[in-house]
Amino acid sequence: MPDQYLIHLNFLPLAGDLPSFRVYRKERQNAQEPRPADNIQLYSLPRGSNDVENRAMYWVCFDAQQGYEQCTVAPNFNNELTRWALFRAVCDSATSRLTADQFTVPENTFIHEINFKMQPHTEGEELLVVQPYVLRATHQFGFLVDFHLRLAETARFSRRVQQLCLSLDRNYRRNLDYYVDRSTKIRKFVNDRWSVLSPLTLPGATQKVEVSKDFAPLAADRLKQRVYVFASGREAKSQFVGLRDYGPLKPPSSSPKLLFVFRERERQAARTLAMALRGSRERQRFNFPGFEALFKSPLQIDSNPIILTDLSDQAMQTALERVQTENPRPVPVLVVPDGEENGYLAY
């Protein structure tokens, strides 16, 4: 095994040192003084460049304001102010190189980010999200870059939306390559917008800032193998094997009761599921020992299932009303037909 494991974050560090930049500032008079304007932020800064320990709170902006003094700021004077300067630089770069409909800047002064519109769909729009960031582990400034799907106002959550979010693959199954696909998409989007991201010019700086195209690697430690605790404090590395051999850590206080809900055409599917839960003699057919054998607790199945006429909201509401009136309240089991892609999400 290698002695060291490296993980590559979705963080693009700056290449080389950051230059000093220009701000305009005015010292805050008291803690109750309100913020003068939306484009002005409050930061702690040294009173003079030669004494970084003697600090005060200043109202800061990047454009000249009446009553504000011009000041040259070193990157290490205040990390949050330097992040804001990087944000201003990438916004200025986007404004000069892109049209207004190709990016948005959310109205959020707490988190500075810019969203580049990359790929439109009927369901929404794929975005490259860029945030200035300081990686304290390596003492580097740079940008977090991420992928996001912004849903259209009229879009409903569906399997297609999950696919566009990369949680499902092209066959609408769980995407086992989610992180690879996400990284690939981020890298493609970064390449498409590289002329905007690098080089950058901080406010008032004469030296341009280059951004590295390589994600920052960080040393990582491996976690110990996961272990599960079961009845009487016994341990196992597998949830299934542990439950089968030892039983749950805390058994249910009463025997659970299931109430099946299905249309007449799904009756056979519901019957097959009930047989598997009861622990059919055809155990090899289901590859499941049964609920009682696994959880060490008997299971009741209501012999009077709810037969739906259809999967409409009204039919579901009627079924819900019966569930709510029974005492003790059963656990409803809805059998959804194959091909009903929104059934699970809706009900």
Between CA 55 and CA 57 the distance in angstroms is 7
Up-side HSE of residue 247: CA atoms within 13 Å toward CB?
10
Between CA 337 and CA 343 the distance in angstroms is 8
Q: What is the mean pLDDT of the chain?
A: 90
109 vs 145, 238, 245, 273, CA distance in Å? 18, 46, 55, 53
Average pLDDT over residues 217-226: 86
Q: What is the pLDDT of residue 286?
A: 61
Angle at 78 between CA 73 and CA 83, to 5 degrees: 90
Reported as a single tens digit per residue, the pLDDT across 18-64 is 999 999 999 999 989 999 998 899 999 998 877 778 899 999 999 99
Residue 240, pLDDT above cutoff 50: yes
| CB 218 within 8 Å of CB 9 | yes
Residue 149, pLDDT above cutoff 60: yes
Between CA 166 and CA 332 the distance in angstroms is 30
Q: How far is CA 235 from the centre of its chain?
A: 32
Residue carrying structure tokens 């030892």? 246
Q: What is the pLDDT of residue 285?
A: 60
Between CA 247 and CA 237 the distance in angstroms is 14
DSSP-derived 3-state class of residue 235: strand
38 Cβ partners below 8 Å, 6+ apart?
Answer: 109
Between CA 45 and CA 53 the distance in angstroms is 9
Of 95, 149, 158, the C-alpha closest to 127 is 149
Q: What burial class does residue 265 get, using C-beta atoms within 10 Å of its C-beta: 0-12 exposed, 13-18 middle, 19+ buried?
A: exposed
Between CA 210 and CA 198 the distance in angstroms is 5
| CB 142 within 8 Å of CB 11 | yes
Residue 340, pLDDT above cutoff 70: no
Average pLDDT over residues 176-192: 95
Reported as a single tens digit per residue, the pLDDT across 83-109 is 999 999 999 999 999 999 999 998 876
| CB 258 within 8 Å of CB 302 | yes
Residue 327, pLDDT above cutoff 60: yes
Query: What is the number of other CB atoms lying within 10 angstroms of the CB of residue 165?
Result: 19
| CB 338 within 8 Å of CB 154 | no
